[in-house]
Structure 1
Amino acid sequence: MGAFPSSVQIGGLFIRNTDQEYTAFRLAIFLHNTSPNASEAPFNLVPHVDNIETANSFAVTNAFCSQYSRGVFAIFGLYDKRSVHTLTSFCSALHISLITPSFPTEGESQFVLQLRPSLQGALLSLLGHYKWNRFVFLYDTDRGYSILQAIMETAGEKSWQVSAICVENFNDASYRQLLEDLDRRQEKKFVIDCEIERLQNLLEQIVSVGKHVKNYHYILANLGFKDISLDRFMHGGANVTGFQLVDFNTPMVAKLMQRWKKLDQREYPGSETPPKVRIQGLTGNVQFDHYGRRVNYSMDVFELKSNGPRKIGYWNDMDKLVLIQHEPTLGNDTSALENRTVIVTTIMPLMKNPILRN
């Protein structure tokens, strides 16, 4: 370590409305540079941050060139569907690593480390578990098309009847009209793949038209199930299933959350609410394959009871999904299945060669 530089230049690239991510980045730099253990932090990180108002190619190109001219070793950054190809292409061409909590890219790049696991395998595993062969898939394109492609490929292979509807340009009235139309078609099973703000709004419209009751089932394609407000769904009787990446009971997560809540909101914008993007280590074992995708991690399976979430199983690479039976089922009694919410955190390998099918 004697020959290692005493300081390393690290870039930060943030787009509008990412205050929490920027605050998490600053906090991580501070914690690293003030660590009392010299073996864990043999060098200081020197941040160079660019905040851009829009994620178009021109703005991203200028920001990346600014970072590159400063000699950054790596960039912690976020992208959306408009900037992802520009940013990842620059990283591959100039051999600069991009560390990102944004949605996983659909291509293969050796210079992109994706902190967020892909969700396609988990979702397909869950659909297979429930034996769904007819359902509605509501989505936006903010996170790309990878989940849509995986759904449609599997639908073609297994003869599923999937009604895929893009809702990114819908308003409240459009949501309600769509839900009424689907109800007339006797559609009771839904997969919803939307960003958190749009997802929350859609769920509110589902409640407003009374589709949150018994016999309805919703699967939420989101990794932060516990961040979603579902109280009225629990009282209504509909089944809701989702995915939870972070275990808030682990000491590392609990310690960070305590630190986060003590941040001054004036100095650290976005710290008034818990971070939706967790830094390395808070999502369990953080390991990547050759193309920067998350591998070798374990997640728990939870079921929300009247007294709160309870672990009912786990998933890992070796055993896949393992359910734990805490209490015996009573013959054909299905009352235990009503009015419950299930958190299933199962991540399976990403499917390749997607085929779109109408």
Structure 2
Amino acid sequence: MEVHYVLMFWGFLYQIKVSQGLPELIRVGAMFESGDEMLQTAFSTAIDRMNSDSAILSNSQLSASIEQLGHQDSFQASRKVCDLLSKGVAAIFGPQSEESSSTVQSFCDAMHVPHVEIRWDFRAQVDNHSVNLFPHTTSLGRAYRDYVKEKDWKSFAIMYEENEALVRLQELLKDPSIRERRVLVKQFIQGREYRKTIKEVGRAGIKNFVIDVPTEKIQMVLKHAQQVDMMSEYHNYFLTSLDLHTVDLEDFQYGGTNITGFRLVDEKAREYLDFLRSWKTEYDGVDNGKRKPALNTDVALIYDAVKLFSTALHDLDGTSRKIDIREISCQAEQPWPHGNSIVNYMRMININGLTGNVKFDQYGFRSDFNLKILQLGQEGLKEIGEWTPHAGINMTGNYSKAYEEAIQSLKNKTLVVTTLLVSFISLRIE
């Protein structure tokens, strides 16, 4: 009898602890714009995987409330964020465009609801209730700078399409050593063929290029460079996109041109293959069976964002604090009391995800991350090194194999060597 009462007593205490923690159902909001269907599928897959992971939120389940809106429609975003808040959500993920995201952020900040982002952002300060998993602009810019300095190009061109590229590349542009080199900065003219601009730069004797264009336009830029004879073994192209590994580069891998870029996605991560299997049923990244499936950066980041949020809730639940998730009215403007705690936990903890180690600095930025250096060879893109904020560039590739490929590409060719005695220091921005 005494044992029976003891068991009942401990059972009662356990029920108290559970009731003091998280609710059984935790609703999270997400906003996706037109064209983000792949990202929405990845988000839903990530939610399902967190719910099936017994090590995370074992006493609770996540339930996603998803809203769709037009691209860069801030008016629609302001209406739909209030709809989500009225349902009682513990966080809102997205959207991706700057205009809509800023609108959502202002509401989340006022209501103290965590706003989780995975987009490039140039701001020097983070909002109180925002958590952005995309690498910080300054750190990413240092990676670009370190790569160019490692290559020791005496002359090169920075060619870009969107004005934001100059912000991404400012660490390179303002580096003191840049004044010792010949640098041409040129913007692709909207509506004008890439080939004409590339040919103009080629006439200036430039053979090294830093290219900043949207990922979906990389193949076209390289194709246009190829059409104006700017894709030989004497040319070097560094692409700033973190999704070079998702581009079909087969047309360029036998020409000997040095094409390189960075990748944030960690294909050696523990969850990588498992997530790929569960996600690729609808979006497998295969182009007519030519390429293996590849996760782009946004897909990997949305998974890591959901995992980070879930882990923060799990850790917060361990404190036995009662967290009630209630409906919030945009008109009442009564902040949610638990939002600060969740955001602080998300910024304090570290997780290993599909984009490597996710952690934040004292200012709330993701400044410490690893990038893999990819180079195109006859067998496709291969890892040849990595970049870290502490050690910079570390080349680890098989240089003997690369040397043999270079020798093969030069066989049966006549080389003409010329010498020019020129002294110049210039930085031209057009």
Partner of 1:135: 156
Q: For 1:213-251, what per-residue CA distance to the aligned partner results, in whole angstroms no more than 9, with x for missing partners?
A: 122111100112211222232222211110011232444
Please tell me whether residue 225 in structure 1 is matched to residue 297 in structure 2. Answer: no
Please tell me whether residue 123 in structure 1 is matched to residue 144 in structure 2. Answer: yes
Q: In the alignment, is the contact (CA less than 8 A) between 1:9 and 1:47 conserved in 2? A: yes
Partner of 2:208: 189
Partner of 2:317: none
Structure 1: gaps (5+ residues): 340-356
Q: Distance in 2 between matches of 1:244 and 1:81?
A: 23
Q: Distance in 1 between matches of 2:156 and 2:33?
A: 35
Partner of 1:70: 87
Q: In the alignment, is the contact (CA less than 8 A) between 2:373 and 2:386 conserved in 1? A: yes
Q: In the alignment, is the contact (CA less than 8 A) between 1:81 and 1:143 conserved in 2? A: no
Query: Could you say if the C-alpha distance between residues 151 and 144 of structure 1 is closer, same or farther in structure 2, counting changes exceeding 3 Å?
Result: same
Q: CA deviation at 1:161?
A: 4.2
**1:282 aligned to which of 329, 342, 354:** 354
Please tell me whether residue 246 in structure 1 is matched to residue 244 in structure 2. Answer: no
Query: Could you say if the C-alpha distance between residues 86 and 338 of structure 1 is closer, same or farther in structure 2, counting changes exceeding 3 Å?
Result: farther
Q: Distance in 1 between matches of 2:404 and 2:245?
A: 28
Partner of 2:369: 297
DSSP 3-state at the match of 2:45: helix
Query: Could you say if the C-alpha distance between residues 129 and 275 of structure 1 is closer, same or farther in structure 2, counting changes exceeding 3 Å?
Result: closer
Q: In the alignment, is the contact (CA less than 8 A) between 1:179 and 1:206 conserved in 2? A: yes
Query: Could you say if the C-alpha distance between residues 40 and 66 of structure 1 is closer, same or farther in structure 2, counting changes exceeding 3 Å?
Result: closer
DSSP 3-state at the match of 1:186: coil
Partner of 2:45: 27
Q: Distance in 1 between matches of 2:180 and 2:110?
A: 41
DSSP 3-state at the match of 2:85: helix
Partner of 2:74: 57
Structure 1 stretch displaced more, 208-217 or 289-298 = 289-298
Please tell me whether residue 101 in structure 1 is matched to residue 173 in structure 2. Answer: no
Partner of 1:146: 167
Q: Which one has a bigger Cα radius of gyration?
A: 2
Query: Could you say if the C-alpha distance between residues 306 and 200 of structure 1 is closer, same or farther in structure 2, counting changes exceeding 3 Å?
Result: closer
Q: CA deviation at 1:22?
A: 0.3
Partner of 1:260: 279
Identity %: 25
* TM-score, scaled to structure 2: 0.67
Q: CA deviation at 1:81?
A: 3.8
Q: For 1:114-163, what per-residue CA distance to the aligned partner results, in whole angstroms no more than 9, with x for missing partners?
A: 22224211101111112235322222338665214334333797455443
Higher helix share: 2
Partner of 1:111: 129
Q: In the alignment, is the contact (CA less than 8 A) between 1:207 and 1:232 conserved in 2? A: no
Q: In the alignment, is the contact (CA less than 8 A) between 2:254 and 2:378 conserved in 1? A: no
Q: Distance in 1 between matches of 2:28 and 2:175?
A: 41
Q: For 1:62-96, what per-residue CA distance to the aligned partner results, in whole angstroms no more than 9, with x for missing partners?
A: 22222222232211113224334334333333322
Partner of 1:180: 199
Letter in 2 for 1:121: R
Letter in 1 for 2:42: A
DSSP 3-state at the match of 1:83: helix
How many equivalent residue pairs? 332
Q: Distance in 2 between matches of 1:334 and 1:31?
A: 43
Letter in 1 for 2:187: C
Q: For 1:40-78, what per-residue CA distance to the aligned partner results, in whole angstroms no more than 9, with x for missing partners?
A: 443211212110013132122222222222232211113
Letter in 2 for 1:58: F
Q: In the alignment, is the contact (CA less than 8 A) between 1:114 and 1:293 conserved in 2? A: yes
Q: For 1:253-296, what per-residue CA distance to the aligned partner results, in whole angstroms no more than 9, with x for missing partners?
A: 1111112233xx4xxxx456554221111111111224432244
Q: Distance in 2 between matches of 1:145 and 1:124?
A: 13
Partner of 2:23: 5
